[in-house]
Amino acid sequence: MPLNPWNTLFSFLTIILPLLNPFVAFAVNPQGEALLSWKQSLNGPTEALSNWNPTDETPCGWFGITCNINKEVVELELRYLSLYGTVPTNLSSLVSLTKVVLSSTNLTGSIPREIAILHELNYLDLSDNALTGEIPSEICNLFKLQEIHLISNQLEGSIPVQIGNLTSLKWVTLYYNQLSGEIPNTIGNLKNLQVIRVGWNKNLGGIIPREIGNCTELTMLGLTETSVSGFLPLSLGFLKKLETIYISTTLLSGQIPPEIGDCIALRNISLSKNSLTGSIPKSLGNLKNLQKLFLWDNSLVGTIPSELGNCKKLTVLDVSENSLTGNIPQSFGNLSALQELHLQRNQISDKIPAQLENCKELTCIDLGNNSIAGTIPSEIGNLTELQLLFLYKNKLVGPIPSSISKCQNVKILDLASNGLTGNIPPRIFQLKKLKIIQLFSNNLSGEIPENIGNCSSLFWFEVRDNKLTGPIPREIGNLENLDILDLSLNRISGIVPAEILGCRNLTYLSLNSNLITGNFPGKLSCLVLLQFVDFSDNFIEGTWPLHVLPRHIAFFSISRNNLSGEIPSSICNLYFVNYLEFSHNHFSMIPPCLGNMSDLINLELQNNNLHGTIPKFVECSNLKSLKLAGNQLEGSLPRSLVNCKKLEILDVANNKVNGTFPHWLVNLPELRVLLL
């Protein structure tokens, strides 16, 4: 039987047409067609959408799709996918959508105006994408919208003034964008609004509209890192359900309105880093639910109101970096839930109240940089949860209470720059978690306790500028984690113990201005992380040992000791050194290679017994100060110094340098001091 060409053609078309256009052959409804059309426009991997099958009658079983009982698509929810496309614009078949979530899907482009046809939409989340352009005013025609989330995009322009039409809105989160303009006063129409967060939009300015007081359902107001200015509106006091205010790092000025004390549900207040003035209102003591209060870095004056002691749920109080005066209220002893107390950088005086011992949950006390006087109360030892204690730069006197040793969780103890006297309590070094001890600039005396070696976590030990005596304890070598050791400006005597080599993580070692004797320790090169060494102003003697310093050292000073002999050429192997100070010793020779140390900034060799000639300076592009005065150097000034273009100070006075005046020095543009 002969083949019918029409049958052959029909069979061919039956096979090929579905491949060319799957919608021709299969029964997917218009909603599915719209979704598949959007899928085809995506540039990223779409494996997650693999069950979006055009052979299905409806898309109701597809990943990310939810339908109602009428098989109408009511939810499109895709999160954390690398779709790399745009927000769908073909929405005419999806008018039943009530929820659209396309967050963290790498979408670009603008928010389409066509979204306005989704009249049933009540939830929209396009957060964590790279959307640009403005928020289309057409969104404000979606009168059923309850939540809109556009966080972390690149949206520009103003918040549409028509937002006041969306009277069903409960949540508005637009933070981390590039929005500008002002907060529209139509926000006051949103009687159901619970959360508005538009922070981290640096160009969003203007004042906070007083109409916000009409949003009586509001629980959270977030305007941090914006350019809002003016005063806090008194109408905030109408917001009885407000729990959180985040308006830090803005241009706010004026006083904190006492009316804020009427917001009885408040739990969190953050008004830090503004230009607020006046005093802290006493009415804050009415906020029985207050947990966190951040008012730091403003221009607040007056005293800390004792009424804050009524806020018994308070866990964090930070009013640091203001100009507050007066004392620390004794009523703070009522704050049994308090975990952090930050009062640093004010002008607070009087004493530390012993009542703080009642704050058993305290983990951090920072009272630094005030004018607090009196002694450190021994009751502080009852704070067994304490981890951080900062009392630096005050007027504290008397001994360090040994009761601090009961605070077994302490990690940082900073009592520097006071008038503390007596010995360092040995019990302090029983604190196994202690990492940092700063006791510098006090009047402490006695010896460094031997049991310092038990403090195995110690990272930083700084006791400079005291009246400590006795030797450096050998047990210090047990501190394998020690990074910074500063014992300078004391009356410490004896030799540098060889055990110090056990501090293998040491980067900073300062022993200057003590009574240290003996030879220079010969194996510091074993401390391979060491970058700063200062042994100046001691009584160290003998000759300079070879290969004594680690190669990565940046600062080294042995000035004002009794060292003699030659400076070994091995010093030139310190390729990264910036400062070398050998002045006021009895050294006899300069190694010629010193002129080839390209990172050297400061070289001090004055007042020694140096003979010979000044070495040539070939690699000296960073050298700023060269001091060779008070030696026996001969010959002429090397013309190679012209290579030192950054040289500011050149002192070769009181030597035997001869020759004509070096007029070529005019080629050193930074030279300010010249002593010949």
Q: Among 445-459, 501-515, 529-543, 635-649, which is the least confidently predicted range?
A: 635-649
> What pLDDT shows up at residue 620?
83
pLDDT for residue 546: 67
Q: 284-324 pLDDT, tens per residue? A: 999 999 999 999 999 999 999 999 999 999 999 999 999 99
pLDDT at position 27: 66
pLDDT at 598: 85
pLDDT band at 595 (very low <50, low <70, confident <90, very high): confident
Q: Do domains 290-359 and 522-676 have the same CATH topology?
A: yes
- CATH no. for 522-676: 3.80.10.10
Per residue in 515-525, pLDDT (tens digit) is 999 998 878 88
Q: Report whether pLDDT(15) > 70.
A: no
Q: What is the mean pLDDT of residues 134-141?
A: 96
Residue 130 has pLDDT above 60, yes or no: yes
More confident residue, 668 or 124: 124
Confidence band of 26 (pLDDT split at 50, 70, 90): very low
Among 507, 466, 472, residue whose Cα is nearest residue 488: 466
Q: Say whether domain 373-496+508-516 belongs to CATH 3.30.43.10.
A: no
pLDDT of res. 670? 87
User: How much is the pLDDT for 295?
Assistant: 99
* Lowest-confidence pick of 78-87, 311-320, 371-380, 566-575: 566-575
Say which amino acid occupies 86: T
Helix H or strand E encompassing 17? helix 5-20
Longest dimension (CA), the chain: 124
Q: pLDDT-based confidence at 574, cuts 50/70/90?
A: confident
Beta bridge partners of 156: 134
pLDDT in tens, 347-368: 999 999 999 999 999 999 999 9
Strand segments (E) across 333-401: 340-342, 364-366, 388-390, 397-398
- Enter the tokens of residue 482: 């020690």
Instruction: Please report which confidence band the pLDDT of residue 393 belongs to, taking 50, 70 and 90 as the band edges.
Output: very high
Architecture label for domain 290-359: Alpha-Beta Horseshoe (3.80)
Distance CA 599, CA 365 (A): 43
| Tens digits of residue pLDDT in 428-465 | 999 999 999 999 999 999 999 999 999 999 999 999 99
Instruction: Look at residue 500 and give its three-state secondary structure.
Output: helix
Q: Write down the pLDDT at residue 203.
A: 98
What is the structure's pLDDT at 21?
A: 45
Give the residue carrying structure tokens 């880093």: 273
pLDDT above 60 (res 23): no
Mean pLDDT of the chain: 93
Mean pLDDT of 602-611: 94
pLDDT value, residue 570:
85
Write down the domain spans for the chain. Answer: 290-359, 373-496+508-516, 522-676
Q: Which of 248-262, 480-494, 531-545 has the lowest mean pLDDT?
A: 531-545
Query: With contact defined as beta carbons under 8 Å apart, do 358 and 381 qualify?
Result: no
Could you identify the residue written with the tokens 């002002």? 182
List CB contacts of 2: < 8 A, sequence separation 6 or more: none
pLDDT at 534 (0 to 100)? 96
User: What are the pLDDT digits (tens) for 240-269?
Assistant: 999 999 999 999 999 999 999 999 999 999
Distances (CA, A) of 414 to 389, 411, 461, 509: 6, 10, 10, 19
User: Which of 24-38, 351-365, 572-586 has the lowest average pLDDT?
Assistant: 24-38
Q: State the pLDDT at residue 544.
A: 82
Global pTM reads 0.90
Query: Which residues are registered as beta bridge partners of 151?
Result: none
The set of residues, in sequence order, having a beta carbon less than 8 Å from that of 21 and lying 6+ positions away, is none
Percent of the chain with pLDDT over 90: 83
